[in-house]
Structure 1
Amino acid sequence: MSSSPSPSPSPSARISRLALLVVGLCWLAVLFDGLDMFIYGSVLPHLLETKTFGLTADTAGDLGSYATFGMLVGALTAGTVADRIGRKKLMVACVTLFSLASGICAISGSVEVFGLGRTLAGVGLGGLLPTAISMVSDYAPRGRGAIVIGMLMTAHHAGGILSAYVAKWLVDPVGWRAAFWVCVTPLLFAPMLARLLPESLSFLVAKGRAEEAQALATRYDVELPAAAGSKTAGDRWDALVNLFRGGEWTQTLLYWCASFGGLLLVYGVATWLPTLMRTEGYELANALTFVVVFNLGGIVGMLVAGRAADRFGAPRISAIWFALTAAGVYLLSIHMPMGVTTLVVFLTGVFLNSAQTMIYATVSIRSTPDNRATAVGWTSGMGRFGAVFGPWLGGQLLAAGNGDFGFTAFALAGLSSMVFIGIAALRSAKTGVQSGAEQELAAAH
């Protein structure tokens, strides 16, 4: 008797693997994004100690701000470019851009060329993250969008961990340029991304390619996005003006100020943590270990904050998280035993990296559905100016010989965000938490 044929894999199992491919490719892209973003802070202590390019603390702060300014440009233009060429092509272009830009940094012979490389890298970095979030939102399994986006955001911090190890393993024996050559290697990933990643369903629907979108949605067992009506420039202007009508202007400005302080803190600490820890007397190897621990905390924080917000409310968690962040950052200005400092760095990473996320969650749930995207987008955009200011501020403080005050200044930024988001929450007449929307829109910074 012939043996019965082996059963074919169930459709759900096959579809799960296909959806995992999309999420996996986006995760790797965001991992490289994090590596390129954090590598400057990881090699900065070496650059300053060897006076590469005659680098001083204030010039180093300017260089850190170049990348975050580029991110501001990339984030603000990503939506328009993606609407024209598609999200898949934009992701490939962003990976290619920040990889080639790292090559410019690696071969640079002057601070001006190095700064150009960091600015171009920032444009690619700023455009990639919101595009990747959109992609995984389209292809996340039904009812799993928030979890999938939370997983995607861990990749950014995993890239920060990788940057610390790249610096530890390569900078002393080979030189700082080798670290930036490592950041060029994602260029090899770009063709794989172009070949394997499907186009965004939202883009296909918006372009009228309904049959292609339906085929992909069926293959991946995901919901087909509804066709949205096209918005004119006047519609978008009205959505922005609505943020200031009536008594809403105070809420809007409070959210913007909170976001400014939050991203000042996030990118200021990300750029200057190893250098500031060196000024506190820690060895370079230990200072880079703190980068690893800090980003491990960021991964844990991203997974914990959403659950806490579901139970206690995003505004409350955001305010508490910023208060705890400020306490942790201030404690880092005190030289403590290595074990205690490591614990403080870990907890600071837990709270810091998700406190800003909860601002977006708060704005999301306290906005009307038709104005939600505009409210969150502009809150994020205003915060990006804080991201530009934070690295510059750290450099100015170090240049003035006030490195010890650096942690205190960043802690004050955390306290200001706590106050702003707290006042905004108290003034708001709306209440309630919508966990899925919170977590999905919160990841967009």
Structure 2
Amino acid sequence: MTSSGMPGPGRPNTDRPPHTFRTVFPVLALCWLAVFFDGMDVNIYGAVMPHMLDDPGLGLSPASAGTIGGWTAFGMFFGALAAGNVTDWLGRRATLVASVVLFSLGSAVCALATGPDVFGAGRFVAGLGLGGLTPLALAMVLEFAPPGRAALTTGLLMSSYHAGGMAATGIGLGLAPAAGWRAVFWAGVLPALIAVPLLLKYLPESPGVLLARGDRTRADAVADRYGLPRPTPVQAPAAGAKGRIAAVRALFAPESRWATLLLWLASFCGLLLVYGVSTWLPEMMRSSGYGLSSSVTFLMVINGGGIVGMFVAGRAADRFGAVRISALWFALTAAGALLLKSQLPLGVTYAVVALTGVWLFSAQVMVYAVTDTVYRDSERAAGLGMVTGVGRTGAAFGPWLIGALAATGSQAWGFTAFALAGLAGAAAIALVPLARRSRGSAGATPQDGAVRVAGGPSPLD
């Protein structure tokens, strides 16, 4: 204690609350809300695409629809790259707010579009906002997560993406038939009106970012308020371009370079599946002979399965290891995709779609949980950013590939493409433990094993 009775810099505050889900609930809830709207915006396009293809005034073809889906992902790629500079300038909280504003603006542009070019520009703008949001939200919740609950926390956060996807489907089913597809995109402006005021008022800044910016007093105050250990310089992400370059170089240190490449491949496959399915599932099912309403409902069902999957995968990964669960989930996704290629009774198809949702989305999220165990605290944001950023190429490739197949009337081959992506993702993530060398001499911190449960296996076992 100092002479004033206050804890000195870097010293623990014995009066802080315990570090539990309850103490950090406001942070988790606010990040959950932001990612909810992220999922809603991403899935709106797939929910209304059949209506847009049937609108002669818009002039959208299957090929251009797939290309536009890719433009969204390209916007996300550039948004993720820009997020680092914006975070240095504004901090994580303000960057999250800016991301929400940007993808809401993109939705408004889409609602006003008179042709595919303007609509594509709106989706690109939305992608710029979406690109930085997920890695920033993940970095925030992982920093605030209780010890030993990183995978579960990640699953809880990403369940919001699928709740948003279900909301998008519900809005599409409720508004598009009567009010037209434009009304659905006007609903996509709501995040700026709902989430932004709440984020500005209640979301704290990251203690690690505050420390990196030289504000030790505020960093310690936020950590004490939420029951976190006070950040140390080695845990703080380096600010500025030089700091980010150094963090990216650290990803290719001898003990992690091959693991980095495998994580990128797994993320590529995972996001190919996530965005390929989110964009094209209704149209693929319609081309397989299902009615329009049923085809759109499949998107809601698969996102409902995704919510269940997040809770199941998070708990399972905390117990058995994120690598094992992610690899198994990728393989089961491949099996589900192949089953959907078959002509099954409607009830069976709904069941297969729901189970595929349980596996598909959480397979990708567990890649993020594995990332948290591969890199040090000071490298976590860079590692997550690169894994999600490189994965965006898969997010662009997936919708484009299915669009190209749809243009030739070969949508059914899309299910085969999804199955191959699932198998490749399973192989890549399963090899991460073999590729990662021991970090004992690399200055690993106690937080490196954050996903490990007391008495349980490491997520990399």
Fold agreement, TM-score > 0.5: yes
Go from structure 1 to structure 2 and tell me whether the alpha carbon gap of 1:385 and 1:226 turns closer, same or farther (over 3 Å shift): same
Q: Could you tell me whether the CA contact under 8 Å between 2:207 and 2:231 is conserved in 1? A: yes
Q: Does 1:219 align with 2:225?
A: yes
Residue 255 (structure 1) aligned to one of 259, 263, 268: 263
Q: Deviations over 1:249-281 (max 9, x none)?
A: 555444332322222112111110111111111
Q: Which of 298, 305, 309 is 1:290 aligned to?
A: 298
**TM-score normalised by length of structure 1:** 0.86
1:37-72 alpha-carbon deviations (Å, 9 max, x no partner): 110010011111234521111100011111111111
User: 8 Å contact 1:361–1:438 — kept in the other structure?
Assistant: no
**SS of the counterpart of 2:177?**
coil
1:132 alignment partner in structure 2:
137
CA contact (8 A) 1:98 1:120 kept: yes
Identify the residue that residue 421 of structure 1 maps to in structure 2.
429
* Partner residue, 2:162: 157
State the 1:225 CA deviation: 2.3
Once residues 391 and 122 of structure 1 are traced to their aligned partners in structure 2, the CA distance between those partners, rounded to angstroms, is 14
> Does 2:98 match 1:93?
yes
% identity of equivalent residues: 49
Q: Is 2:139–2:381's contact at 8 Å kept on the other side of the alignment? A: no
CA RMSD of aligned residues (A): 3.2
Structure 2 length normalisation: TM-score? 0.83
Query: For residues 352 and 25 of structure 1, what CA distance do their matches in structure 2 show?
Result: 25
- 1:306 maps to 2:314: yes
Distance 2:84 2:421 in 1: 29
Is 1:191 matched up with 2:205?
no
Match of 2:26 among 13, 17, 21: 21
Partner of 2:388: 380
Q: Does residue 123 in structure 1 map to residue 124 in structure 2?
A: no
Letter in 1 for 2:53: L
Quick one: which amino acid aligns to residue 214 of structure 1? D
- C-alpha separation in 2, matches of 1:417 and 1:236: 27
Structure 1 or 2: larger helix share? 1
Q: Distance in 1 between matches of 2:342 and 2:199?
A: 45
- C-alpha distance 129-246 of structure 1, shift in aligned 2 (>3 A): closer
Q: 1:259 to 1:58 in 2, by over 3 A?
A: same
Is contact 1:16–1:220 with CA below 8 Å preserved after alignment? no
Q: 1:412 aligns with which of 417, 420, 431?
A: 420
Work out whether residues 72 and 127 of structure 2, in 8 Å CA contact, stay in contact via their aligned partners in 1. yes
278-287 vs 212-221, which moves further: 212-221
| Distance verdict in 2 for CA 1:192–1:252, change over 3 Å | closer
How far 1:235 sits from its partner (Å)? 6.5
CA contact (8 A) 2:259 2:432 kept: yes
Superposition deviation, residue 133 in structure 1: 2.7
The aligned residue for residue 8 of structure 2 is none
Match in the other structure for 1:341: 349
Cα shift readout 1:78-115 (whole Å, capped 9, x = no counterpart): 12211211122112211111111111111111211111
- Please give the alpha-carbon distance, in whole angstroms, between the structure 2 residues aligned to 1:220 and 1:420: 36
Contiguous gaps of at least 5 residues in structure 1: 1-10, 440-445
8 Å contact kept, 1:31–1:155: yes
Provide structure 2 residue ranges, at least 5 long, that are not aligned to the other structure.
Answer: 1-15, 440-446, 454-461
Residue 119 of structure 2 is matched in structure 1 by 114
Confirm whether residue 43 of structure 1 aligns to residue 52 of structure 2: no
Q: CA deviation at 1:438?
A: 7.5
